[in-house]
Structure formats: C-alpha cells, structure tokens
Amino acid sequence: MPGKNLSREEARDRAAIIRVERYRVHLDVSAAADADRSTFRSTTRVSFACDAPGAASFADLLAPEVVSVELNGTALDPAEVFDGARVALPGLAAHNELTVVAECAYSRTGEGLHRFVDPADGETYLYTHYEPADARRVFANFEQPDLKAPFAFTVTAPAAWDVYANAVAERVVEEGAVRTWEFAPTQPISTYLTAVVAGPYHVVRDHYRRELADGGVLEIPLAATCRRSLAPYFDADRILDVTKRGLDFFHEAFDYPYPFGKYDSCFVPEYNIGAMENPGCVTFNEEYVYRSKVTEASYESRANVILHEMAHMWFGDLVTMKWWDDLWLKESFADFMGTFAQLEATDFQDGWITFANQRKAWAYRQDQFPTTHPITADIRDLEDAKLNFDGITYAKGAAVLKQLVAYVGRDAFFEGARRYFKKHAFGNTVLTDLLDALEETSGRDLRAWSAAWLQTSGVNTLTPEVARDAEGRITELAIRQDGAPLRPHRIAVGLYDLAPDGALLRTGRFELDVTGARTVVAEAAGRPAPALVLVNDDDLTYGKVRFDEHSLETLRTGLGSLADGPVADGLPAPSLARALAWSAVWNLTRDGLMPARDYLDLVRRFAGREANIGVLLSLHQQAGLALAVYTDPARRAEEAAALAECALHELAAAAPGSDHQLAWARFLAELATRADHLQLLRGLLDGTGRIDGLAVDQELRWSFWLALAANGAATVEELAAELAEDNTAGGRRQHTRCLAALPTPAAKAESWSAVVDSDALPNALVEARIAGFNRAGQRELTAPYAGPYFELLERVWAERSIEIAMRIVGGLFPRFQTVPETLATTDAWLERHPDAAPALRRLVLECRDDLARALRAQECDAR
C-alpha cells in the first residue's frame, strides 16, 4: 500500500530490520507570524541501525518540498527518492545517519504544526498534534509506534515567544529578533508523542515534590499555559491543583515515578480533540478555559480529561502498544483510570454516574453499528487507526476494565500494572503482555475472559424475568442474556420499593455471575416482589438493561424518585441507580421498543427533579435527538412545543444562579421556535427582560443569537455587531455558526460552498459552518443537498486531510432527512462504490445505520 496510508504489514517489515537510536530535529519557525509564509524549515538527523545491511527501506515525510537528503554522507536526489509521502532509503548499512532538510507546511486543519492567528490581538500561536501519524508533516521519521527513540528538538522562533517541548530547555540563545531553544533529549518515545508548542503564551508555573519509597525525592516543574487574550479567564490554580492531586494518586497506585521530567499543560486553539498525552507537554483544547459561567459538570469533565491524559504517562507513553491493534492498551485504561482517579483524588465524586450515563451511551451506540469491532481491533492501516479512536476503544474498553478490576480485585489489578510498567518500561507491548502480568498477580486465567470481552464485538442485553405468587412474593428471579456471543457478567441486581416519603429506595441487592442465556438469582426466592428490579445495579458490567413490565410501569410514574439515599429538598440525591434507569429507557427508545413520545414524556415529568447536572445535560441532549429523528413526523411539532414549554417552566422554577438554571436556559434556546419564546430570548439579550440569577454572559448570548438566527429573527447586521463586541476566536466560531444557521437558501448555499468547494477555512470554522448548516429544524432548506452530498464523497476523501474529510462526511450527511428515500440513496451509493476507501465506507455505513434506526423509531412512535 504505497503513499501516505502506511499498512500494518509495511510497519511490521520495517520494524523487523530498523532500530532507531536517536533523532535530532531543528524547526525554524522564526517567520511564522508572516501570513504569506506557508512553510517552515525542518531539518532532521536520525541515527538508526539496520539488521539487514544492504536492504532498502523508507522514512515518512509529508511536505511540499524536500530541499536535500543525505544518507551516510551521500547526497540523494530528492526528485528520485521523495514521492510526496516517503523518502526511499536504498542500500542501508549496519549503522546509518540520515539527514533530511524540508520545507514543511503550516497546518490549518489541526494536523501537524497548526498555526493560529488570534483575532483579539493579532498574535500568532503554534502547536503540534500528531496522533496517529502526523509527526511526518513536521519532520522526517519512521512513523510507527514501535520504533521508539530519544528526541532532541531545537526550535528557532521569534524572540518574544516562548517554546515548549517534551523535555526541558537546556539552552536558549537570543540573536536579534529570534531565539533558538535547545531542548534536552527525551526518554525513548514514539513519534506521535513528540510535541512543540510556540508563541506568546501566558504561563503560570508551579512545582510538585514527592518523597519516594527509596528515600529519594521527585521534583517535577509544572506549568499551565494559554493564549494571552484568554489569561483573564484562566483558572490555572484549579488546573494545577488537579494535576498535583493526580500525580499523588498515580505515584501511589503505580509505584513508578513519573519518568518525563517536567509536566506542562498547554491549552491551545482550534484543537481537534479534547487533549493529547504528549509526555512532558500535554496539549488541551482551550475550550476548557471557560470564558463564561459553566456548570459543575464542565469542571468535572475537565478534571477527568486532565487525569485521563496523566494516566497515559504510564499507559501509553512509558509503555506503548506495538501497533494500533492494541490501542486499547492506552485509551481504554486512560478512560477507566480518569474516572477512577477522579473519585480517589479529587472532590468530584459523581464520576461513575457520569460514566454510566454518558461514556457508556457512546459505547452502546458504537457497538451496535454494522462496523463494530472488538476492543482489540484489526487495524490494517493508518486510516483504520484514525477511525478507531471511538466509543469502543475508549468507553467500552473502560467499562470492561471496570469489570476486570471487580473480577481480579483492586489490589491484584494495580500490582499487575506495577509489574507491567517495570518489565516493559520504554518498550512496546501487545495484549498478552498485560494479561500475563494480571494473571500472575490475580491467579486467574484471563484467556477466556479476554476472548469473551476483548476479542469479540457486540453488546449483550440483560433482562429480568420475575415470577410472583398470589401473595406477591418472588417465586423465581432470573436474568436472561441476549446477543451473541453470550459473555460472563459480574453484576448486581437491585430491588427497589417505595418509601413512605415517596422515594424509590433500594431494599435488596444480590451480586452474582451471569453466565449463559439464563441465570437464576436463587437468593431472591421468597422475598416480597419489589416495585422495581434493576439489573446491573452499581453498573458493574457492560450491557444494555431491560425491565420486566411491572418495573417499567414503576419507572413511568416514579423514575424521578429513584434514589440511592433519602430525598432532600424535593430532589433525590445524585443517584447511580437513576442514571442507569435513564440510560436504559434511552436505549429502549433508540432500539424502537419505547415510543419517543413516552421517552419525551419521562423527560418532561422527571428531568426537572434530576439533581446530577451531568445527567440533566445528557437528558437534554437525548431529548433533542429523540425529538429531531425518533419522533413520528406527524406529532413532531406538538412534541416540540410541549418540550419547549417544559424548558420554560423548569427555567422559571430553577434556583437563581444555579447550574440547573443555566442548563435549562440553554435548552430553551435550542428548542425555541415560538414567537413568545424568541421574544424572551431577545429581551434577555437587550436587557429589557430579566430572569433572577441568570447571568447572560457572552457564551449564553451566542446561544440566544443562534436561536434567533435559525428562526429568522436576527439580521446579519445584528450578528456582525455581536461579533464586534466579541472579536475573539470563540466569537468568530459562534458568529460563523449563526450565519450558517440563517434560514435562507443563500445562507445554506454559501456555507455548503465554503466547506466543500474550498479548503480555505481552518478546522474550527469548518466545524462551525457544518453545525449551522445541518439543523433539524431546517429540513426543507437542506433537502436539495442530499444528492450532491453523495456525489462529493470520493472527491472530498481524496483531496482533503483525513480530519477534515471525516468532518465533512459525517457532518453533512443528510441525517435529518429521515425518510425512506434517503436510506435508499445511501444504500445505492454503498452498492455502487464497493471499492471506495474502507474508512470512507465505514463512515457512510455508520451514518446509514443511524438513519435506519431513526426510521424504525419513528415507526414505533407512530403506532
């Protein structure tokens, strides 16, 4: 497979003969502030051994121009050895020195070295992002995770800038208008983990100190950075506090000192993902720097991300998967450890509620696609790898690990991890390496567990079967397991009954192993039949939960009262059980087993009683989706009006200044279509209206403007005036989204063309254009684009970077054209393009599955 899409076989063959000794990379970005300069000079010197002298191999490089190539002192003609993606290396010696000088391109897509100009002050900022294979956009290398080496970076940049990399700067030399930063060599790491961040960043510094068991002292310099224009909003102390708490926890849990010297947390603009675990220089999406009031769920989410990336310092950076097949060896563990550490080390104690309600919803959706895959996936090439950063690798993997910890025991799990780190430090591993360590410490045979959970795909369904006698006692309680393959599940079964105060409280709990198609809960026989049987109470396993009819009827009237503890001030305590129940009824709705109108009714009646703000935000998101695509079109307008009235009522009832008040205000803005609702939003914007305690700050203003724009109640001039007041990166994104949401054919045509006919927009504005263009309430305006969408797919995939192509393919799919004709058009494209790129077909297949599911749900709702 030639070109930029490196295959697993090519990587395996190269690793069989190449051993990389070290890299020395010099990047000259001194002219980065010059908008007319599209490239920067990159010089790479790599020393490597070849175990098959005389063999040929190749280095990876994506660059507009290669200036020179020298191999073992011999100059090679770039025109002959460079094909735009690879540098051919003929006649290798036992020991080799390769020098490649190239003009590499600044990125506007978040891949490689991204360049951003801050509209607030005109300052230029740079940062790198490489995973899975974009380091080759910045320097020549062997771009695969198992060819680790130390990296020594030198960066020449404007004198007013600071530069950050994986290691500490050993020397900084200033020469006139530039400074050159020379960084110490790193520990052996993979190419995708290297990082450079450069610009006039605002920085807050701190220090971490820990006494080690051997009597030594570990000193870790800490830093947190953001753009200067964001400095007034930067709560660095809070970020660094979570960082230090996490370092305490992971040192205690893993008994392996943090191995990468310093720990920088760099918040960067236009980032494609939440964060990246570059050792010593972690990059975060700067949207975690909050310009306006956010709910506590946002701070919880940010803490989880900080701890997730920190877990990677051990799971992923210290010990790295050999190839992307075993991506779970880092992402599943980091996803699990992020939540585990949050509960152990911070004040955020509802992490497993959030995990059960949000992360696992992502996993259940992904695992029901026709493109689902085992947690240990078959990754044929880099395009496969890019798409496998998904709900299975992250959330399902983490859920399975949660069960594994319960299965082998916490102490055995962490002792196994410690031995794994010590044995494989700075190396690469596969699945069996970790299983060997865990078997050694737990005494359990994990091969059968691995075969069932890690090497098969699909989600099981667990349903209680309750038989009652005439006196209302249980004669038999059994758990039926459906779905192939059947798996062993360690679960808890909770029995719930109504208390005198109306709360639905747990009165019994049984923990057991479910194996096979049907498992009897023997201990339940003879007990009074409860109002509710909750399978997978405490969320120990990964599987969809169903209810017996009696339990489902109980939830229809009492879901809002389901609690793990006493009811206070009319609201149940934050409840994992209630989050699981909400998750279960959502899965019933997605599966076409509960009419969308029934789910929306549950939300209208009980969401206002939800104490956990993260669960409430999930309910808002899911209710919006149910309304948009699962509701019978004949009753959609009626359901929308009822849901908007619910949002208005709950907004008025919420405590002034509370997270719940803010959440309901945003939800009302998403739903508002009626004149009086829009007038309320306009009054809140211009000050003629007021809701006690609701601070209409900048982000909320944009939410209101989006609602007005989408309903034709805002002018282009008004939106421009708002942008003038908020001439920032965030303001520019929001303004772009509002323009794309205007309900006119011209606005849709302009946004479509800006995204598909040109690559001038940076990644953040591509995303904003798509979000404003493809809106559920504007089906008639976007219907004409369904045909052109399928005509552009292969061109977009061939011409755009994979990151932007993925956004266009997924974002512009006509998902709100929920009619059989759209499904037929999708099927016709898939039938006519059997040889399209597998990753492209996967994306279209997943969109197709969402559409087919929506049609089934609409049929259910229409009955």
Cβ contact 141:23 at 8 Å: yes
Place of tokens 């949207």: 287
Amino acid in the structure at residue 804: I
For residues 669 and 131, what is the distance between their CA atoms, to the nearest angstrom? 36
For residues 241 and 243, what is the distance between their CA atoms, to the nearest angstrom? 5
- CA angle (446, 488, 490) in 5-degree steps: 95
Q: Per the structure block, which two tokens stand in for 808?
A: 């266009």
120 Cβ partners below 8 Å, 6+ apart? 229, 727, 728, 729
Determine which helix (DSSP H) or strand (DSSP E) holds 482, and give its type and residue range: strand 474-482
Determine which helix (DSSP H) or strand (DSSP E) holds 163, and give its type and residue range: strand 162-165
In degrees rounded to 5, what are phi and psi of residue 442?
Answer: -100, -20
Amino acid in the structure at residue 118: D
For residues 316 and 339, what is the distance between their CA atoms, to the nearest angstrom? 17
For residues 334 and 788, what is the distance between their CA atoms, to the nearest angstrom? 40
For residues 463 and 643, what is the distance between their CA atoms, to the nearest angstrom? 30
Determine which helix (DSSP H) or strand (DSSP E) holds 413, and give its type and residue range: helix 410-424
How big is the chain, counted in residues? 863
For residues 620 and 582, what is the distance between their CA atoms, to the nearest angstrom? 12
Q: 532 has which bridge partners?
A: 496
Residue 838 burial (CB < 10 Å; 0-12/13-18/19+)?
middle
Rounded to a whole number of angstroms, the distance between the first and last alpha carbons of the chain is: 51
567 Cβ partners below 8 Å, 6+ apart? 501, 502, 503, 561, 573
For residues 642 and 678, what is the distance between their CA atoms, to the nearest angstrom? 16
Helix axes 659-671, 698-710, angle to 10 degrees: 20
Q: Per the structure block, which two tokens stand in for 79?
A: 């025109």
Q: 209 has which bridge partners?
A: 219
Place of tokens 């950050």: 164
- CA angle (411, 413, 415) in 5-degree steps: 65
In degrees rounded to 5, what are phi and psi of residue 497?
Answer: -140, 160
Place of tokens 């993925």: 806
Range 688-710 burial, b when 16+ CB lie within 10 A, else e: eeebeebebebbbbbbbbbbbbb
DSSP secondary structure string for all residues of 257-299: ---SS-EEEEEESS-SSSEE--TTEEEEEGGGS-SS---HHHH
Catalytic, out of 287, 309, 639, 722: 309
Amino acid in the structure at residue 291: R
Task: Indicate if the alpha-carbon torsion angle 362, 366, 368, 372 is positive or negative.
Answer: negative
Among the listed residues 168, 86, 155, the one whose alpha carbon sits nearest the alpha carbon of residue 127: 155
468 Cβ partners below 8 Å, 6+ apart? 474, 475, 529
Is 309 annotated in the active site?
Answer: yes
201 Cβ partners below 8 Å, 6+ apart? 125, 162, 164, 225, 226, 227, 228, 266
Among the listed residues 399, 153, 382, the one whose alpha carbon sits nearest the alpha carbon of residue 278: 153
Q: Per the structure block, which two tokens stand in for 138?
A: 């910045």
Determine which helix (DSSP H) or strand (DSSP E) holds 647, and give its type and residue range: helix 636-653
Active site residues: 309
